[in-house]
A and B are shown apart, each in its own frame.
Chain A
C-alpha cells in the first residue's frame, strides 16, 4: 500500500503531511506523558519486527497479486496506539529514505493510510472495544481480524481518495475503488490471521506485554477521550481541507439527470414546491456549501467544518437518547 510520489500532487501531499504531523505531535505528547523507559526498547524491536515482516510478500490466491503486512494493528496491540504510531512513522521513514519504498512526498499519506488507521482505529477503537469485557483467545482473533480488515479497507479507500483528489489519472473513482477494496480485503484477512496467531501466542505466554487488556481504569478512559479528540480534529481537518479539492463537476445523480433532461436541476412549479423551497432557502445557512451570495473558498472550507460539527453533534445526541431509553427500559 506504499504510495509512490507520482500518485499525489503537492497540495494533497502537503495536506497529508499536515494531518500526520498533527497526530504525531499528539502521540508524542502522550508517550512523553506516560514515559516508560522500558517501552523504548520495545518500540525499537517491534519496529524491526514489523519492518522485516513487511519485506515478505505473500501471494493472494486466485488474483495473481501479492500483499504484505501493514503491521499497525500488531504494533499497537503490543505498544498502544501512540507509541505504535510513532514506531510506524519510524518504519515508514526508513523504508522511504533508505529503500525508496514509498515516495518522499507521499510519506505523509503513507503514514496516514498505513499507520493512523492501524493504530488509532484498529487498536484504539476495535481492539480496545472487543477486549473491554474480558480477554480470551477467541476475542483476540476477532479483534485482530476485524481490526486488520477494517483498517486496511480504510487505508485502501484513502489511497483511492488521495489519488483522485490529486487528479493524476483518468481512472474513474468507482473503478479504482473496485480494484483496491477487494484485494485489500484479502490482504486484510491474511494479515488478520497472522496478527491473531502472534497475539494469541503472546497472550498465552506473556499476556502482560499486550496493550489495553486491563480496561475500565480512569487513565484508560482519559486516553480513550484523547483518541476521540484526535479523530474529531482529523475529521475537521479533512472537512476543512479536502472540501477545497472537491470536484466542481455534477455528482452521479446530477450527471444522469443532465444526460436525460439537459439540465442538472429539475424545475418544478406549484404551491407546495414553492413553500418547501422557501423554507429550505431560509434554513440553509450555507447554500451549495458556500457563504450566501459569495463564492470564496473560505466558504467551502467553513461549510465542511460546520457540517462535520453538526453531524458529530447529531450523532452524539442520538447516542445519548438511545442510552437514556435503554436505561429507562
Chain B
C-alpha cells in the first residue's frame, strides 16, 4: 500500500504546485489549454526524419521552464515511465529502417515528439488547478456530467486514501509480524475498500444534496470568475504565432 500512498501524495504535490501563486498560474485556463493543444498538434505534425524542425520546438518548454522556474528534475522523475515506453518503441526502428542512421534519426524524432508533447501537458498540469481545468471544460461546453465526474473523482481520492489507511491499519493490527497483505485476501481487501468507499461517497454526496447541490443543473459558479485580461490575449496570440514560426522555422531559414 505504500505505492498507492506515494502516488497519491505525489498527486497532492502537483495540486499544491498548481495552486501556488504565479503569473502563469493566474493565466486564463482556457487559453493555457488552447496553447497546449496548439503546440502538441504542431509538434506531432512534423514529418518523420525532420529532426531539425523538432529542435526548434524545444524553445517553448525551455522558455517556460526557465522563466517560470519549473523544476525539470521533478518533471523527469514524474514522467520517467513514458521515457521507457518511447525508448522501447523507438529502438525497433534501428533494426527495421533501411539504414541504421535513418533508424536512429527516426528513433530520436519519435522520442523528441513524445517528450516535447508530454512537457507541454506537464506545464499545463503544474500551473492549472483541477477546478480551473474543469471550468475551462465548462466554457467549451463539455457536458456537465463529465465535468462533475472529473471533480468528484478528484475529490473522492481523498476518501479512498483515508479508507485505505484505515483498512490497512486494521489488517496489520489483526495480523502482526506479517509482511505485506496476504495474496489470499487481496480480493476481499480491495472489495472491502471499494464498498466502504462507496458508502462514504454516498454520505458525502447526500450531504451535498441536502445543501442544495444538483448535478444536472450546470454550475454557474465559474461565470465572472475568469475575466480575460490583456496579458491572456498577449499570451494566446504571442505563443500561437511563435509556435507556428518554430514549426516552420527551418523553411524560413532555408535549412
Contact = CB atoms under 8 A, between A and B. Distances in A.
B7 interface: yes
Contacts of B192: 201
B205 A49 contact: no
B200 to A, nearest CB: 8
Contacts of A4: 82, 85-86, 114, 117-118
Q: Is the interface of A mostly helix, strand, loop or mixed?
A: helix
Interface in B175-200: 186-188, 190-195, 197-198, 200
B150 A40 contact: no
A8 interface: yes
Contact of A37 (B128, B152, B215): B215
Nearest to B198: A45
Contacts of A167: 48
Contact of A99 (B48, B78, B155, B209): B78
Given A90-B153, A99-B14, A205-B195, A176 B92 contact: yes
Interface size of A as a range: 35 or more
B103 A170 contact: yes
Interface in A68-97: 86-87, 89-91, 93-94, 96-97
B184 to A, nearest CB: 10
B110 A6 contact: yes
B11 A99 contact: yes
Nearest to A48: B156
B58 interface: no
A48 B133 contact: no
A98 B122 CA distance: 7
Nearest to B156: A48
A27 to B, nearest CB: 9
Nearest to A3: B85
Given A9-B45, A167-B48, A104 B121 contact: yes
Interface in B136-159: 137, 143, 145-146, 148-150, 152-157, 159
Given A5-B114, A41-B205, A47-B156, A104 B36 contact: yes
Contacts of A202: 191, 194-195
Contact of B92 (A8, A31, A38, A169): A169
A182 interface: no
A151 B166 CA distance: 33
A59 to B, nearest CB: 12
B204 interface: yes
Contacts of A176: 92
B93 interface: yes
Given A44-B153, A44-B155, A104 B133 contact: no
Nearest to A24: B146
Contacts of B18: 98
A322 interface: no
A202 B188 CA distance: 9
B239 to A, nearest CB: 15
B201 interface: yes
A145 interface: no
B66 interface: no
A46 B156 CA distance: 9
A52 B36 contact: no
B117 A6 contact: yes
B92 A5 contact: no
A5 B159 contact: no
Given A41-B152, A105-B44, A100 B122 contact: yes
Contacts of B153: 44, 47-48, 51, 87, 90-91, 94
A239 interface: no
Given A31-B145, A44-B155, A5 B110 contact: no
Contacts of A277: none
B247 interface: no
Contacts of A55: 3-4, 7-8
Nearest to B158: A48
Interface of A: 4-10, 13, 24, 28, 31-32, 35, 37-38, 40-49, 51-53, 55-57, 86-87, 89-91, 93-94, 96-101, 103-105, 163, 167-172, 175-176, 179, 194, 196-202, 205-206, 209
Given A104-B36, A167-B48, A169-B110, 12 more contacts: A5-B113, A41-B202, A45-B160, A45-B198, A46-B198, A93-B137, A98-B15, A171-B96, A197-B187, A199-B191, A206-B195, A209-B195
11 contacts: A6-B44, A6-B110, A6-B114, A41-B202, A44-B201, A48-B197, A97-B121, A101-B82, A176-B92, A198-B191, A201-B188
Interface of B: 3-4, 7-8, 11, 14-15, 18, 33, 36-37, 40-41, 43-45, 48, 78-79, 81-82, 85-86, 89-90, 92-93, 96-98, 102-103, 106, 110-115, 117-122, 124-125, 128, 130, 133, 137, 143, 145-146, 148-150, 152-157, 159-161, 164, 186-188, 190-195, 197-198, 200-202, 204-206, 209, 215-216
Q: Which 8 A-B pairs have the closest CB atoms?
A: A197-B187, A44-B152, A201-B191, A6-B114, A41-B205, A6-B113, A45-B201, A5-B117
